[in-house]
Amino acid sequence: MALGGFHSVLYVLQKARGAGGLRAMWKAMRSPNACKTCALGMGGQQGGMVNESGKFPEFCKKSVQAMAADMQGAITKEFFEKYTLSQLSAMSSRELEAVGRITFPLFAGPLDMHYKPISWKEAIAKVTEKVSKTDPSNSFYYCSGRSSNEAGFLLQLMARVRGTNNINNCSFYCHQASGVGLASVTGSGTATVTLEDLSKSDLVFLIGCNPTSNHPRLLKTLLDLRRRGGKVIVINPLVEPGLQKFNVPSDVRSLFFGSKISDMYVQPNIGGDQALLLGMLKWLEEHSAIDETFVSQYADGFDDVRNQANETNWDVIEQHSGVSQKVIAEISRIYRESNAAVFCWAMGVTHVKGGVDTVRAIGNAAIARGMLGKEGAGLLPLRGHSNVQGMGSMGVAPMLKGPMAEAIEKELEITLPLPTEGGDTMWCMQEADKGNMKYAMCLGGNLAMANPNTTFSQKAMSKIDLVSYMSTKLNQGHFVGRGAETIIFPVLARDEESQITTQESMFNFVRRSSGGTPRHNGPRSEVEVLVSIAEKGIGTIEWSRYRDHSVVRELIAKCLRGFKTKKEHQIEGRTFHEPKFSTTTGKAQAHVIALHAPAEISSNQLRLMTIRSEGQFNTVVYEEEDVFRKQTRRDVVLMNEQDISAFGVQVDSFVTVAGPSGTLVVQVKAYPIAKGNCAMYYPEANILLSTKVDDESKTPFFKGEVVAIKKN
Ligand code: SF4
């Protein structure tokens, strides 16, 4: 049975009805604003539901869910009087998301049982006083991918001017490995392709990703590719039924009859894709299928990579990857026939130990066949939140790129106080746990719940004197991620802003959102809140100028190469159709990788991957049911049937899953996942995970840690 289709259509209609009717939803979705959800990028000045190729209508359940949530009514003061903090802490993500919009600032102190309304003046005064009294090194600034470029740029600027580089965005817990890996291959940490390239490719690899749930409109692109004779190869330890067959709602034939999506579905071990990619190189080398012209003229270091492939035995490749030589040969054969291949990947790659090297291994595979610097071919990390890439471009990172730092200093005639690198997200949390963080500013997001070892993150946040959030709606982090004091500033959604804001898609396209009418009195623009705090004594900058978003954009344009102030645009120099790279030699860089063996497991152990469900976006759970994987509850462990029988447990029985940091009692479900591996829902399963991070990306191991399964 195919997925999506009429179920999705019905769901959208129901959501629209619940959000004030079809007409209201249509109007909201068509407004000239960027989609609030994933970074595939829809909407903007061509109107909502238009993609970067100008195609209409392009929308999905996810975009409707996010819009419907923002169209909810206001949470009343009585709500906060009625429910205590501990009662609200016990509510699920879904319950909190459905409570409504926050419309007045909220405060909770150490002795408070409830969040209490507080005036804007008082809330801003509390934050400014804390910022001015805190040694900057004892503070950190965190940003999610929901905010605008303008707000992100101001956040990092005010933090640096105040004197700290402890600035990070949510990418440390998602795609940081992509940025680090890509920068070492092409000289730029972002995609090398545009959306148009996908319509010219004849082969797409989907490695460790599930666009069915997370980037739904990509399915139509894949459907079109297959209809013109192209192929799709999926590499994922877990079968995603929607990547096998899908009813694409915007295509009548597909809606009624379903469409095959993948030509090959390969299930490596968690983390086994690294060895699989090396195996592909080995096969290409053994079959004289390397593009020798490309590797000699446009790449450095390929001979070392070739040697690594030659010297690595097939036994090692099979053992590490969990995939047979025969299957790797079949993938490689298809790849050899391709004239234009795009490699897509997501957190199945970046959440695993050695994720940066896996991204480099993907780069090696692309270099081997000359799949960089030409139309229809290249590298495409599938980013999550709609503006997470923009946050990186805006310098919301511990270390500013040299040219941006120099430009800021020149334009503002200031000296940025700390030239050294600041703390990544986990480092900041560890410092908080040691009692070294006194203030934290969270621009969106749900930091506490996004962390591995949620027990640790809750404890760490509680040791911070003051935590301030800027949010549109409630989430679990507002309760389990409280400091000694906590303030929540209610902010406008991007389609409610009174001025234009900008966002950047995963294709490096900067989209302009026109904003619109606020749905409620009370919430303010994030830029307004940041300026109100900064102008009360952070540095000597004339902050009030930046209330005008166009002035912020002018400053950004002076500091970021390729950013333009007037029109929607592709950021220059990142996507390219000629083999000219932004590396020091101008060539692509091939890398010998440190081949990681998947974690060893004993008789009652499995490697765990945390996964998101179809009705979920990051930590926000819209529906408890995971329609695509046919799961009706979230407290489950998905196991291979052979493991279930070897462990002597029964399907639907309850087991205790013990990870490095905690345990969870969950129900066993049989699922087509590679033997020796299991899957559980994020963020609930975070409680099991350690706080260890990858050496290069500083990303925790949301996938690949070992858990023990114990019968109850
Ligand atoms: S695929 Fe992503 S960008 Fe496109 S409509 Fe859906 S959520 Fe929005």
Give pLDDT, residue 1.
44
Q: How far is the CA of 37 from the centre of ligand 1 (A)?
A: 6
Residue 415 half-sphere exposure toward CB, CA atoms < 13 A: 3
- Residue 451 to residue 463: CA distance in whole angstroms: 16
- Residue 127 to residue 228: CA distance in whole angstroms: 57
Are the C-beta atoms of residues 266 and 208 closer than 8 Å to each other? no
Write phi, then psi, for 355 (nearest 5 degrees).
-60, -35
Q: How far is the CA of 62 from the centre of ligand 1 (A)?
A: 7
Q: Is the CB of 320 under 6 A from ligand 1?
A: no
Pull the structure tokens for residue 266.
Answer: 């390969």
- Residue 538 to residue 603: CA distance in whole angstroms: 57
Coil, helix or strand at residue 678: strand
Q: Is the CB of 42 under 6 A from ligand 1?
A: yes
Give pLDDT, residue 417.
67
- In eight-state DSSP terms, residue 607 is E
- Residue 502 to residue 561: CA distance in whole angstroms: 16
Q: How many CB atoms lie within 10 A of CB 135?
A: 11
Q: How far is the CA of 372 from the centre of ligand 1 (A)?
A: 26
Residues 468, 469, 475, CA angle at the centre, nearest 5°? 135
Residues 333, 334, 338, CA angle at the centre, nearest 5°? 115
- H helical segments located in 171-298: 176-186, 195-198, 211-214, 218-227, 252-257, 273-286, 292-298
Q: Which domains does the chain have, with CATH numbers?
A: 3-70 (no CATH), 91-174+387-493+500-566 (3.40.50.740), 176-382 (3.40.228.10), 605-711 (2.40.40.20)
Return the closest-CA partner of residue 547 out of 565, 524, 515.
524
Q: How far is the CA of 195 from the centre of ligand 1 (A)?
A: 13
Q: Is the CB of 37 under 6 A from ligand 1?
A: yes
Q: How far is the CA of 278 from the centre of ligand 1 (A)?
A: 33
Coil, helix or strand at residue 237: coil
Coil, helix or strand at residue 498: coil
- Residue 361 to residue 418: CA distance in whole angstroms: 34
Q: Is the CB of 66 under 6 A from ligand 1?
A: no
Pull the structure tokens for residue 698.
Answer: 């500083």
Give pLDDT, residue 259.
87
- In eight-state DSSP terms, residue 666 is E
Q: How far is the CA of 215 from the centre of ligand 1 (A)?
A: 6
Q: Is the CB of 12 under 6 A from ligand 1?
A: no
- Residue 479 to residue 476: CA distance in whole angstroms: 6
Q: How far is the CA of 66 from the centre of ligand 1 (A)?
A: 10
Continuous segment of H or E residues that includes residue 460: helix 454-462
User: 502: Cβ–Cβ under 8 A, 6 or more apart, which residues?
Assistant: 148, 149, 150, 390, 510, 511, 512, 513, 553
Give pLDDT, residue 315.
98
Residue nearest to atom 6 of ligand 1 (CA): 60
Pull the structure tokens for residue 525.
Answer: 């623009």
Which residues, given as ranges, of the chain have pLDDT below 50? 1
Q: Is the CB of 225 under 6 A from ligand 1?
A: no
Q: Is the CB of 215 under 6 A from ligand 1?
A: yes
Over residues 501-525, the pLDDT tens digits come to: 999 999 999 999 999 999 999 999 9
Return the closest-CA partner of residue 574 out of 205, 201, 183.
183
Q: Give the residue, out of 33, 35, 146, with the most ligand 1 atoms within 8 A of its beta carbon, to mutate for a pocket test.
A: 35
Give pLDDT, residue 444.
94
Residue nearest to atom 5 of ligand 1 (CA): 59
